Amino acid sequence: MSEACNTMLSEDDLHYLRRACALARHGLGDVSPNPPVGAVLVRGGEIVGEGWHHGAGLAHAEVEALTAAGELARGATAYVSLEPCNHHGRTGPCARALAERGIARVVFGTRDPNARAAGGAEYLRGAGIETFDAQMREAYRLIEAFAVAAVSDRPYVALKMAASVNGAIAARGGMRRWLTGEEARALVRGLRIEHDAVMVGAGTVRVDDPLLTVRPVHARRVPYRRVVVCEREPIPLDRRVLQRDPQVETVILAPRGRAELFRALEPFVRVVYADDEQGRLDLGAALRALKAMGIHSVLCEGGPTLAASLLALGLVDRLHWLIAPLLIVGAGAVSSVAGGEDFDIGGWRFDEVRALGADAYLSGRLRTEDRCSRD
C-alpha cells in the first residue's frame, strides 16, 4: 500500500514536507516527552498556515497551522512531519481536527510509533481524505528518540565521541583536550539541547572536570540534567558538575552496595541507586531509573569505560562520532572505547557521513529495521 502511495508524491509534496520538518525542529529541546512536529497547510500552491508543537500541554502543530489558516484551511493539503495523532490527550486528536476543518489531503513524514496515539492515518482515510505516509528519513530522525523511548522502559541513548582518526582521545597521561573544532563543538551543544540529559562516567569527571551545561543557556521546558555514572567511587566534591546551577540538575547513579561512600554527595546532588543482585551498579537499571524520572533521551559523552559498557550491553541507539584531523599513536594513547571484555559490535548503519569544519562527522544507528524509503 505505502509503496503505491509513495509514487504519488510530487517534488512539491516533498518540498512542503521538508518545510514541515524544518518547523518541527524549532521544538527540539522544548517538547519532551512529546516528539517535535511541524505542519504546513497548502492551498492552490500557496502556504496558508504553518505551525509547530511548542511543548507538552500546548497546541499540536496541526492545530497551530489550522488556526493560522482560518477559513483557508478548507480544501488544503496538510503536510505534517509526523502522522497526525488520534488520541485524546491533553489536547484533542489532530486527525479529527484536520477532517473537521475540511482538509482535502494529508501527507505525513513518518508513522507515529506510539501505539496510544497512532491510528491517525486510518482515521483520515476512513473520513475519505487522501492520506500518504512519505516514509521520509528526515522526518523519522526528528522523532527517533521519541520512537525508541515510546516502546522501551529506558531512555533513548546516543553515544557521542570525539577522537583522532585512529580512535584515540588523548595521549599518555595528558589532560584530555578539545580535539575537534568549533563546528563540531557547536554540533555537540545542539545535541545536548536535543536530549533530556547528558551522561558521563566518573572517570571523565575526574580527568576532564567538564561543566556539561548547555551554552548558550537554553530555556528547556523539561529541565536538562547532568548524569554521572559512578561504578565504584563517588566523584570528588570540588568537581564542576557539582556546582549548584538553577538551570541544570545533577544526578549521580551509584551502586547501593557502596551507598555509604555516596552519602557525602547527597546534600549536593540527587543520588540514584541502581544495582544488580550483588549490589553492583547495573547500567540497565540505572537507565530505567532515569526514564522513571522523566528522562526520555540521554546523550552519553564518554568516557571510554562507560562507552564500552553501554555498547557491550547493547544500550546505545545512535553513535555520533567526531573525528579530528590528527593521529595519536603509541602505547600511551587513550582509546575512545575501552575496558572490560574483548568484544566487537557490528551492524551499524551510517546515515550521516560528512565533513564538519576541519573534522569529520559520522552518525549511525545499530541494527534497526529501516522503513524509510526516501532520503
- Told to check if 21 binds its own copies by CB under 8 A, we report no
Number of Cβ within a 10 Å radius of residue 312: 17
- Of 99 and 323, which CB lies nearer to its own copies in the complex structure? 323
Q: Distance of alpha carbon 104 from its chain centroid, rounded?
A: 33
Q: Note whether 36 and 25 are within 8 A (CB).
A: yes
* Interactions with its own copies, residue window 276-315 (CB under 8 A): 308, 311-312
For residue 259, what is the DSSP state?
Answer: H
Mask of contacts with its own copies, 310-329, x by CB under 8 A? -xx------x-x-xxxxxxx
Rounded distance, CA 197 to CA 157, Å?
A: 10
User: Are 226 and 249 contacting, i.e. CB atoms less than 8 angstroms apart?
Assistant: yes
Q: Which is nearer to its own copies, 5 or 348 (CB)?
A: 348
DSSP 8-state secondary structure symbol assigned to residue 36: P
User: In which residue are the cell numbers 516528539 written?
Assistant: 35
Least distance in angstroms from the C-beta of 352 to its own copies: 8
Nearer to its own copies by Cβ, of 47 and 326: the residue is 326
Report, in Å, the least distance between residue 375 CB and its own copies. Answer: 11
Nearer to its own copies, 33 or 339 (CB): 339
**What minimum distance in Å lies between the beta carbon of 364 and its own copies?**
6
- Binding residues for its own copies, total number by CB under 8 A: 50
Q: Find the shortest distance in angstroms from Cβ 355 to its own copies.
A: 4
Annotated active-site residue 341? The verdict is no
Q: Which of residues 97-136 bind its own copies (CB under 8 A)?
A: none
Q: What is the Cα–Cα distance from 24 to 27, expressed in whole angstroms?
A: 6
Q: Which of 62, 138, 144, 194 is catalytic?
A: 62
Nearer to its own copies, 272 or 323 (CB): 323
Identity of the residue, 151 or 355, whose beta carbon is nearer to its own copies in the bound complex: 355
What residues contact residue 119 under an 8 Å CB cut-off, 6+ apart?
86, 87, 95
CA separation for the pair 37, 54 (Å, rounded): 9
Rounded CA separation 365/346 (Å):
11
352 HSE (CA, 13 A, CB side): 16
155-214 binders of its own copies (CB under 8 A): 161, 163-168, 171-172
Q: Please spell the DSSP secondary structure of 128-168, one letter per residue.
A: T-EEEE--BHHHHHHHHHHHHHHTSSS-EEEEEEEEETTSE
Q: Which of residues 332-361 bind its own copies (CB under 8 A)?
A: 332-333, 335-350, 353-355, 358-361
Residues that bind its own copies (CB under 8 A): 161, 163-168, 171-172, 308, 311-312, 319, 321, 323-333, 335-350, 353-355, 358-362, 364
Active site residue ranges? 62
